Amino acid sequence: MSREGMDITNEKDIYNRLEKLSERLYGCIGFYNSCQYKDRCRPHFLKTRVRKEVSWKAVGRAKQLQYMKTEEFSWYACFRNGVEAIPSLLRRRYHVDKIPTHGKN
């Protein structure tokens, strides 16, 4: 198939999807030269700056961890714990799953 026959928006979409697989972070060389974690993260040293590529999964995980430290998340966690505790209690203590009803047991 020739390039004229291809839809340009599809090419841009493919490029954007590939670009979203990783996120590039740039920083000052002076900062990374004195960093104690330089051997562990192994950034790419360029002429005037430093580049570190981080996967989109790592970025999402970092955002999730930040959200987990908020007061809103702790409130939702307590609420969810209370909602899930009631069916669990009914099943464990009162054996609700084994109550005889019409039909098969």
pLDDT band at 5 (very low <50, low <70, confident <90, very high): very low
User: What value does the mean pLDDT take over residues 69-79?
Assistant: 93
Specify the 3-state DSSP secondary structure of 27.
strand
Give the chain's end-to-end CA distance (angstroms, integer).
61
- The Cα 80–Cα 74 span in angstroms is 10
Structure token pair of residue 5: 């026959």
Contacts of 6 (CB under 8 A, 6+ apart): none
pLDDT band at 45 (very low <50, low <70, confident <90, very high): confident
Are 29 and 49 in contact by the 8 Å Cβ rule? The answer is yes
**pTM value?**
0.50
pLDDT band at 74 (very low <50, low <70, confident <90, very high): very high
